[in-house]
Amino acid sequence: MRLELHRLFVKDLKFGDKTGFANGTLTINKKELLNLISEDPLLGKNLDVDLAIPGDSTRIMPVKDVIEPRWKIEGKGQVFPGTLSDVETVGEGKTLVLTGAAVLTTGTLVRFQEGIIDMSGPGADYTPYSKTCNIALVLEPADPEMDKHDYEKACRIAGLKAAAYLAQCCAEVPAEKVDVFEHANIREAMGAHPGLPKVGYLYMLQTQGLLHDTYLYGVDVKQILPTILSPLEVMDGAIVSGNCVSACDKNSSYVHLNNPIIANMMKRHGQDFNFVTCIITNENVTLADKRRSSSYATKLAAMLGLDGVIISEEGFGNPDADLVMNCQKAEKQGIKTALLTDEYAGQDGASQSLADSCVEGDACVTAGNANEVIHLPPMEKVIGYPEEANVIAGGWEGSLAEDGSITVELQAITGATSELGYTKLGAYTI
């Protein structure tokens, strides 16, 4: 497979008469975009679109999803297959990417597990989306009593439609940079790079239900058995988020498209190891389902003769059991593992970090302690509803002060402890 990402680099946003791109600025016809998303009868009439640029004294909350604007300009399939377009395999051809831009869904959402993005100040240091030029869709349901699953779908579709629309309007602009990626099929991969270890990526997706959902080619992943996927399919929009989980380690659609584990494994492929494939698996609720999926996913790794796998988690608590099962079963089959997770170690950092563990899990990378408390000063502008700070995960009654400042755990900041490593946190030796 061969995928070309044709990039335009967005450095500024403005509203104007025609949606398009020139000289680093993405111009947006606000009325046209609003008309597009308001076509859904499940959304209310008081919809809005607002803009936020890095460095602005702007707070956006509560944020549900973040989506990178993309459009397929050559090749089969279209962006976000199975959701916006026909179910056609992606990962090949040419895709336009508006690098540096992001569509955010915000407004009166499902509430409890959404997040905060500050464009400046100390909060901006914890979210990668303080550095993107953000187009915020402020949404509301047509009926306040609407089923939450229906409303989540309406918000998800609105964000994806907006992202596709913005990129489509720029499809005739010559790319400023083209990144080319190639990945072999399984038969070719198994014979390639003799002498290098065969490595895979075991990609855990949040699928616990109750609005904790992820979609693969439009299918709710909790309905599938683990399967293999080319990394180029992931990079080309095969996976989208529908999750209403804690903001700090929610894998947004944006981070699936830009998964740094895949990006770095692709860079090291053929040099340090032979990157054979991705194995997609789910995070289940019942013990039987956890056992089924972990056994099946590690069986696929063993059948492919993998020497090692990187395993990433999404979420915390219940999914820690899936992470540990995947680790233990892979190691017992002779497959070396490296785990990527985050921690919920209490505000003092002294509590148990994960809900489960095993002796085999001796190579683990942490994305940080989501319970760490941070104080966010007031911003000049708020897009959305700041009072949600009192109810979202990581906040509490009284998190929002009268002066507009907010005190919360990192859990409430979008992408703060990303378990794909798409985060601004790091470590150094002292």
Q: What is the pLDDT of residue 110?
A: 67
Give the separation between CA 294 and CA 102, rounded to whole angstroms. Answer: 34
In a domain, 421, yes or no: no
Catalytic residue among 133, 169, 170, 244: 244
Q: What is the pLDDT of residue 263?
A: 96
Q: What is the CA radius of gyration of the chain?
A: 21
Query: pLDDT digit of tens for each residue in the chain (430 aa)?
Result: 999 999 999 999 999 999 999 999 999 999 999 999 999 999 998 999 999 999 999 999 999 999 999 999 998 888 999 998 888 999 999 999 999 999 999 987 766 678 999 999 999 999 999 999 999 999 999 998 888 889 999 999 999 999 999 999 999 999 999 999 999 988 899 889 999 999 999 999 999 888 889 999 999 999 999 999 999 999 999 999 998 888 999 999 999 999 999 999 999 999 999 999 999 999 999 999 999 999 999 999 999 999 999 999 999 888 999 999 999 999 999 999 999 999 999 999 888 888 888 899 999 999 999 999 999 999 999 999 999 999 999 999 999 999 999 999 999 999 999 999 999 887 767 7
Q: Is there a cis peptide before residue 378, judged by omega within 30 degrees of 0?
A: no
In a domain, 302, yes or no: yes
Q: What is the pLDDT of residue 427?
A: 72
Q: What is the pLDDT of residue 243?
A: 87
Label residue 297 left, alpha or beta by phi (over 0 means left) and psi (-120 to 50 means alpha): alpha
Token pair recorded at residue 345 = 């170690």
In a domain, 428, yes or no: no
What range does the domain containing 116 cover?
Answer: 2-412
CB 236 within 8 A of CB 249: no
Look up residue 147 and give its DSSP letter: -
What interhelical angle do 30-37 and 148-168 show, nearest 10? 140
Q: Pick the closest to residue 183 from 255, 92, 264, 301 (CA basis).
A: 92
244 is catalytic: yes
Q: Pick the closest to residue 372 from 396, 340, 345, 353 (CA basis).
A: 345
Total structural domains within the chain = 1
Q: What is the pLDDT of residue 353?
A: 87
CA 258 to the chain's CA centroid: 8
In a domain, 423, yes or no: no
Neighbouring residues of 172: CB distance < 8 A, sequence distance ≥ 6 = none
In a domain, 162, yes or no: yes
In a domain, 142, yes or no: yes
In a domain, 419, yes or no: no
Q: What is the pLDDT of residue 425?
A: 82
Other residues' Cβ atoms within 10 Å of the Cβ of residue 77 = 23
Q: What is the pLDDT of residue 322?
A: 95
For 129-151, letters b (16+ CB in 10 Å) and e give bbebbbbbbbbbbeeeeeeeeeb
Give the separation between CA 242 and CA 245, rounded to whole angstroms. Answer: 9
Q: Which helix (H) or strand (E) holds 49?
A: strand 48-52
CB 91 within 8 A of CB 85: no
Q: Pick the closest to residue 219 from 62, 36, 83 (CA basis).
A: 83
In a domain, 427, yes or no: no
